């Protein structure tokens, strides 16, 4: 709070003060007061008015300066009253109490929203676990039904993948509560995903190859397998009909990081869509031409990579290939301190 602002704010009071002095001056002249008395009264009158402004500024300056500073530095603005000392002037006390009540109401609303969101996530997780049981039973029945049943396995697998997406999307909002950072074999994670999708890969006649995966990275094995599964499923949606589908996964180990490259020879991504492919519900030109796209898979992958501390990037040449690169940082702190939960 600046002194000049206080003076401008008190402009009306200053006019009244001046008019009052004129009235006092007229009265003193009417009673034939001598010049020394008039001068003394004038000096005392205006000195008292200025002193009152200075005292008011000093009392208010600390509170308003702290208010402005804390407001600019706080990320969660509704917590502002908790960072302030109660002011010593009436106007400030009123403002302070209003902010405290507003903050209290906001916190109560946020707490209610969090409870509602938590209940919804718990219900979704329960629903996913329940719905997976009949899906697994149907897949087993199809396997036992010979060639006739095999026709339905791929569709059941798609349903299972979509259900799993729902679960991982819900959990991705609080992934830090459900991961364990430790040394994880890229080869084992990729092998598990390849085995999980082997039937679809065989049916689609996909050529799957890997190179340099005999390295360990610091990550959560379960989330990494989900990420790789999403990349594999995404590649299989956008294969080109005029050539044999190929997926190549390679790892490149460096002094400060390990890069995992996931490349396919599909239809590629238009250059205009690349900056937005990790955005929620973005389907792009390829998604609009192929009804199977939801725009959620890569969004979840990006969210999980961010929470795990990995970076992810994409390069593509439309009509030739798409390559997604995940970068795992190296940090000996995890090895010294054990697993992070």
pLDDT value, residue 178:
66
pLDDT value, residue 153:
78
The answer to whether 267 and 240 have CB atoms below 8 angstroms apart is yes
Question: What's the domain count of the chain?
Answer: 1
Give a yes or no: residue 109 inside a domain: no
CATH of the domain at 227: 3.30.565.10
pLDDT value, residue 338:
45
Give a yes or no: residue 195 inside a domain: yes
Rounded Cα gap, residues 68 and 98, in angstroms: 16
Give a yes or no: residue 222 inside a domain: yes
pLDDT value, residue 224:
93
Q: What is the residue range of 243's domain?
A: 176-337
Q: What is the 3-state secondary structure (H, E, C) of the chain?
A: CCHHHHHHHCHHHHHHHHHHHHHHHHHHHHCCCCHHHHHHHHHHHHHHHHHHHHHHHHHHHHHHHHHHHHHHHCCCHHHHHHHCCCCCCHHHHHHHHHHHHHHHHHHHHHHHHHHHHHHHHHHHHHHHHHHHHHHHHHHHHHHHCHHHHHHHHHHHHHHHHHHHHHHHHHHHCCHHHCCCEEEEEHHHHHHHHHHHCHHHHHHCCCEEEEECCCCEEEECHHHHHHHHHHHHHHHHHCCCCCCCCEEEEEEEECCCEEEEEEEECCCCCCCCCHHHCCCCCCCHHHHHHCCCCCCCHHHHHHHHHHHHCCEEEEEEECCCEEEEEEEEECCHHHHHHCCEC
Rounded Cα gap, residues 223 and 251, in angstroms: 18
Rounded Cα gap, residues 78 and 22, in angstroms: 48
Give a yes or no: residue 257 inside a domain: yes
Give a yes or no: residue 281 inside a domain: yes
The model carries a pTM of 0.64
Give a yes or no: residue 225 inside a domain: yes
pLDDT value, residue 10:
67
pLDDT value, residue 1:
54
Residue 312 token pair: 């992810």
Give a yes or no: residue 272 inside a domain: yes
> Which residues in the chain come in under a pLDDT of 70?
1-10, 146-148, 150, 173-178, 290-293, 331-341
Angle at 174 between CA 331 and CA 292, to 5 degrees: 100
Give a yes or no: residue 217 inside a domain: yes
């Amino acid at each position: 709070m600046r002194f000049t602002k206080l003076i401008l704010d008190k402009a009306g009071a200053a006019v009244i003060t001046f008019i009052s002095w004129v009235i006092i001056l007229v009265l003193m002249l009417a009673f034939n007061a001598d010049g020394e008395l008039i001068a003394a009264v004038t000096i005392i009158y205006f000195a008292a008015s200025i002193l009152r402004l200075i005292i008011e500024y000093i009392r208010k300056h600390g509170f308003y300066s702290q208010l402005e500073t804390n407001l600019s530095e706080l990320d969660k603005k509704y917590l502002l009253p908790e960072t302030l000392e109660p002011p010593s002037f009436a106007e400030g006390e009123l403002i302070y109490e209003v902010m405290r009540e507003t903050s209290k109401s906001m916190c109560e609303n946020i707490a209610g929203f969090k409870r509602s969101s938590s209940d919804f996530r718990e219900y979704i997780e329960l629903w996913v676990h329940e719905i997976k049981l009949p899906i697994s039973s149907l897949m087993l029945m199809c396997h036992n039904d010979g060639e006739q049943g095999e026709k339905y396995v791929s569709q059941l697998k798609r349903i299972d993948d979509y259900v799993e997406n729902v679960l991982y999307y819900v959990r991705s909002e609080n992934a830090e509560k459900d991961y364990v950072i430790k040394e994880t074999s890229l080869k084992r994670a990729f092998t598990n995903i390849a085995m999980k999708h082997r039937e679809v890969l065989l049916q689609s006649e996909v050529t799957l190859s890997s190179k340099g995966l005999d390295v360990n990275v610091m990550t959560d094995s379960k989330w990494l397998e989900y990420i790789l599964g999403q990349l594999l499923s995404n590649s299989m949606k956008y294969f080109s009909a005029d050539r044999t589908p190929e997926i190549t996964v390679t790892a490149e180990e460096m002094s400060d990081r390990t890069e995992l490259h996931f490349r396919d020879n599909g239809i590629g991504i238009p250059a205009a869509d690349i900056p937005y492919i990790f955005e929620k519900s973005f389907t792009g030109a390829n998604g609009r031409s192929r009804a199977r796209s939801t725009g959620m898979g890569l969004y979840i992958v990006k969210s999980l990579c961010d929470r795990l501390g990995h970076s992810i990037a994409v390069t593509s040449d439309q009509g030739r290939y798409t390559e997604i690169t995940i970068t795992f940082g190296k940090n000996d702190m995890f090895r010294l301190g054990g697993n992070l939960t």
